[in-house]
Amino acid sequence: MKGNGLVIAVFLLAALGGVLYWSSRHPHEESPRASAELPPKILALDESSISGLGIKAKGNDELTLVRNDAGKWTMTAPQRLPVDQTAMSSVISTLSSLTSERLVDDKATDLGQYGLAQPNLQVAVIEKDGKTRKLLIGDETPTGSSAFAALEGDPRIFTIPDFLKTSIDKTPNDLRDKRLLRFDLDKVSRAELLTPKNDIELSRNKDAWQILKPHPMRADGFQIQDFLRKLGDAKMERSALSAGANSAEAKATAGPFASGSPIATVRITDETGSQELQVRKNKNDFYAKSSVNEGIFKIPAEVGQSLSKDLDDFRNKKLFDFGLSDPNRIDLRDGDKTISLTRAGNDWILDGKKMDNSGMESFIGQVRDSTGRLVSGVRDQITVKLNDADAERLDQRHQPVRTGC
């Protein structure tokens, strides 16, 4: 018995080896049937060829968008509004290469049974050559995870997954540019911030920022850029898309803004001109009026709070402005007593004696990095309060250097 089992095992092993050898000499080729079972494309277009779009959900006005020669999209209906170019690019990317989940019927005669005789959503894709393709999206499938879809004039019925439908089914509020201000951060030349307590004006010459008001001061360019970046990213929460002054949305924002307490007015100037944003607070909510967006908008609390800046937030807090290798002489005074150190080549000299270079480098670095908080400032004099650590470094009684032999 054992011998017979061994013979059978050897036979099976030889047969398996033969199959593997034959397979290696005859690679598998995809059959026409398998290729045909791949989900068919509904639309296959060049993104750059799409010049217009119309989105019509059942019961709503049609949303129409056009692209200019520079490739920028604009909303023309139901209102003429600027468009979020990133959001629009995502919609066009989905439509230009729209793949079905499966083919349901290749020669449908009754569109009504799929909800396509009066579709829930119609999307007209207009190409530069004037050709229009209309996508129809009807009822949900029985499983509820897909929807029936077809192209107008094409007898085939497809299903598309819900996530694709969601990426196409957009409202005006989904696609409008919700930024409160629209400026090029790299091209901003001037910024003004007016609050109940401050009137601050900032100016940029090339890459260097300076405080002009309330009086000329050195500015912290990093803090200013960060402030402008957050301001450029700030977006509205709610928008009065209805142009009528008596619309419910307009009333919901206009009233609280009119009776609110002023928080700040911001003016930004770049190469295209100046833009203004007014922000007010009513109870715990913030509202804004922008010169580049028609209407009054509710904005996130963090945006309103970020405008509560004072002069010290933009000021260069360093007491000195020099490079580590710049100083040639340092005088330390305490009352009538003065200690003078001078540089001779790479060495520092005190009373004719060479100082410890590492100690001097450390001291100069500490002096250069010393900061102070603004206490008061007028045109000819600025008073700051030193941090305790910086005050100690600058106190000559705490000798920062050691004499050498």
Same domain, 164 and 193: no
Report phi then psi at 135, rounded to 5: -95, 130
Answer with the one of 275, 291, 314 that is the final residue of a domain.
314
Q: Evaluate whether 331 touches 339 at the Cβ level (below 8 Å).
A: yes
Same domain, 53 and 103: yes
Q: Is the pLDDT of residue 390 over 70?
A: no
Q: Evaluate whether 278 touches 189 at the Cβ level (below 8 Å).
A: no
Answer with the one of 114, 140, 175 that is the final residue of a domain.
175
* 323 vs 188, more confident: 188
- Let me know if residue 264 belongs to a domain: yes
Same domain, 239 and 292: yes
Which residues contact residue 265 at a Cβ distance below 8 angstroms, ignoring those fewer than 6 apart? Answer: 192, 193, 194, 195, 276, 277, 278, 279
Same domain, 359 and 235: no
**Local structure of 12: helix, strand or coil:** helix
Q: What is the pLDDT of residues 209-242, one digit of tens each?
A: 999 999 999 999 999 999 999 999 999 885 545 4
Q: What is the pLDDT of residues 258-315, one digit of tens each?
A: 999 999 999 999 999 999 999 999 999 999 999 998 888 899 999 999 998 999 999 9
Report phi then psi at 172, rounded to 5: -55, -40
Average model confidence (pLDDT) for the chain? 83
Same domain, 373 and 285: no
In eight-state DSSP terms, residue 100 is: -
Same domain, 303 and 350: no
Q: What is the pLDDT of residues 326-381, one digit of tens each?
A: 788 887 777 778 878 888 888 888 887 888 878 877 877 777 766 666 555 544 44
- Let me know if residue 15 belongs to a domain: no
Q: What is the pLDDT of residues 89-139, one digit of tens each?
A: 999 999 999 999 999 999 999 999 999 999 999 999 999 999 999 999 999
Same domain, 123 and 163: yes
Same domain, 265 and 205: yes
What was the pLDDT predicted at 350?
82
- Taking alpha carbons only, the member of 42, 7, 303 closest to residue 153 is 42
- Let me know if residue 25 belongs to a domain: no
Domain count for the chain: 3
Structural domain that includes position 100: 41-175
Q: Per mean pLDDT, which range of 84-88, 119-123, 288-292, 400-404 is the poorest?
A: 400-404
What was the pLDDT predicted at 366?
76
- What's the Cα-to-Cα distance from 59 to each of 56, 122, 136, 141, 166, rounded to whole Å? 8, 12, 15, 21, 17
Same domain, 224 and 304: yes
The C-alpha angle 206, 207, 213, rounded to 5 degrees, equals 85
